[in-house]
Amino acid sequence: MPSELENAMESMIMVFHRYASRGGNPLTLSRKELKELMEAELSGFLKSQKDPAAVDKIMKDLDTNRDGQVDFEEFVSLVVGLSIACEQCYKMHMKKAGCKK
Ligand SMILES: [Ca+2]
């Protein structure tokens, strides 16, 4: 049976491919697919992303090879960046609230 962390990695892969396969290149996220993914899967962590300019900015930041698409490697950097930000919040929260989550 996969571990918790292995499950998390598998989920990342599954979510990426679920959105990437919606149209165009099935191996990459278009701007539209990225927006749909962020709205549906990251709405808790990216509350301010209703702003269409924010999607463009994130897309531009992620698309390091500048092909107008977000591949899995580029997508992972979004997840990693958000995870780092969340972990910092988590630490601050732990400090403030003792050890409860
Ligand atoms: Ca790209």
Nearest to 28 by CA among 63, 80, 2: 63
CA of 66 from ligand 1 middle (Å) equals 5
CA of 92 from ligand 1 middle (Å) equals 34
Mean pLDDT of 67-72: 97
Instruction: Look at the pTM and tell me if it is higher than 0.75.
Output: yes
| CB-CB contact of 70 with 63 (8 Å) | yes
* Structural domains of the chain sorted by starting position, each given as residue range(s) with its CATH number in brackets: 4-96 (1.10.238.10)
Mean predicted lDDT score pLDDT of the chain: 90
CA of 98 from ligand 1 middle (Å) equals 42
| CB-CB contact of 94 with 53 (8 Å) | no
CA of 69 from ligand 1 middle (Å) equals 4
CA of 17 from ligand 1 middle (Å) equals 15
pLDDT value for 97? 81
CA of 13 from ligand 1 middle (Å) equals 16
Helix, strand, coil shares, percent, the chain, to 5 = 65, 0, 35
The pLDDT tens digits of the residues spanning 14-49 come to: 999 999 999 999 999 999 999 999 999 998 877 655
| DSSP letters for 12-35 | HHHHHHHHHTTSSSTTSB-HHHHH
- Residue 12 burial class via C-beta count within 10 angstroms: exposed 0-12, middle 13-18, buried 19 and up: middle
Q: Is the pLDDT of residue 100 over 60?
A: no
